[in-house]
Amino acid sequence: MFALACGTMAAIAAADTAPRVPILLYHRLGPVVGDSMTVTTPVFEAQLNLLRQRNLRVIPARQLVDAMREAGAALPERAVVIMVDDGHRSIYTEMFPLIRTHRIPVTLFIYPTAISNADYALTWAQLAEMKASGLVDVQSHTLWHPNFTTERRRLAPDAYRRFVRDQLVRSRALIEERLGGPVDLLALPFGIYDADLMREAATAGYVAAFSIERHPVSRADNLMALPRYIVTDADRGARFEALLAPGK
């Protein structure tokens, strides 16, 4: 009984000290705060400088996913992942110059219907340039960023399943056609997920998907709903460091 208790306590202690990896999620940058999702460019640069000062390593999302997929593999220590959702044009004009300077890998999730169409969005040429740098991995944010909770209420069950599959499959196909692949990572719109969506994502060929739950990635997390911290312009100094604490 004593040996069993000691073994349980050791397992708990190991879990408490196991590496956990924060994923920092951005949406757009700019000279001023235009909305709650805008991080000003100087604040973003200060955040990158702080990562370097704290000796934290920004790793590609795929490195984290590969570690999660490999049984028995340890998660990288002192690691942070940076992601961007939506494909706003400021990612090219404001963020890309900084990540080139700092040599920071970023995973960018886009919904293809906006690209080269919406006035706020990136173009395919800009995406191709960023991908060619070797620093930007372009992945799927569904076809046009629907709210799956709303669509489930609106559509009959069979129509809803067809809708979900169309959103997941066509997005992958379009990005791979325009930029090459693999496209097998999914940012879930609005962070919405459930068992059906996770199953459909896996069936559509995605190996990992990401929500917006605010905690670091650990071995306990489901690969099809990995958590991310949305970063805002208010995340400065100690407040930003609090997001990084799990990675120390």
| Cβ 240 vs Cβ 45: under 8 Å | no
CA distance 217 to 38: 24
> In this predicted structure, what is the pLDDT of residue 73?
84
Rounded average pLDDT over 68-93: 93
Give the amino acid at 133.
S
Neighbours of 157 (CB within 10 A): 9
> In this predicted structure, what is the pLDDT of residue 246?
58
Q: Quick check: helix, strand or coil at residue 240?
A: helix
| Cβ 124 vs Cβ 114: under 8 Å | no
CA distance 97 to 130: 10
Please name each of the domains of the chain with its CATH number: 20-247 (3.20.20.370)
> What band does 186 get if pLDDT is binned at 50, 70 and 90?
very high
> What band does 181 get if pLDDT is binned at 50, 70 and 90?
confident
CA distance 104 to 131: 13
Per-residue tokens: 104:
């920071």
CA distance 172 to 185: 9
Q: Which of 5-9, 103-107, 125-129 has the lowest mean pLDDT?
A: 5-9
Q: Which of 22-26, 75-79, 137-141, 162-166 has the lowest mean pLDDT?
A: 75-79
**Residues linked to residue 226 through DSSP beta bridges, in sequence order:** 210
Our measurement of the distance from residue 51's CA atom to the centroid of its chain's CA atoms, rounded to an integer in Å, reads 18
> In this predicted structure, what is the pLDDT of residue 55?
93
List pLDDT tens digits, range 189-212.
Answer: 999 999 999 999 999 999 999 999
DSSP-assigned states of every residue in 176-207: HHHH-S---EEEPGGG---HHHHHHHHHTT-S
Rounded average pLDDT over 114-140: 97
> What band does 37 get if pLDDT is binned at 50, 70 and 90?
very high
> In this predicted structure, what is the pLDDT of residue 17?
56
Q: Quick check: helix, strand or coil at residue 108?
A: strand
Q: CA 116 → CA 71, 122, 135, distances in Å?
A: 40, 6, 21
> What band does 50 get if pLDDT is binned at 50, 70 and 90?
very high
Q: Quick check: helix, strand or coil at residue 66?
A: helix
Per-residue tokens: 83:
């992601």
Residue with the bigger pLDDT between 7 and 151: it is: 151
Residue with the bigger pLDDT between 71 and 116: it is: 116
Our measurement of the distance from residue 40's CA atom to the centroid of its chain's CA atoms, rounded to an integer in Å, reads 20
Q: Is the pLDDT of residue 24 over 90?
A: yes
**Residues linked to residue 110 through DSSP beta bridges, in sequence order:** 86, 140
Q: Which of 80-94, 197-211, 234-248 has the lowest mean pLDDT?
A: 234-248
> In this predicted structure, what is the pLDDT of residue 3?
47
Indicate whether this model's pTM tops 0.85: yes
CA distance 196 to 156: 15
CA distance 161 to 46: 44
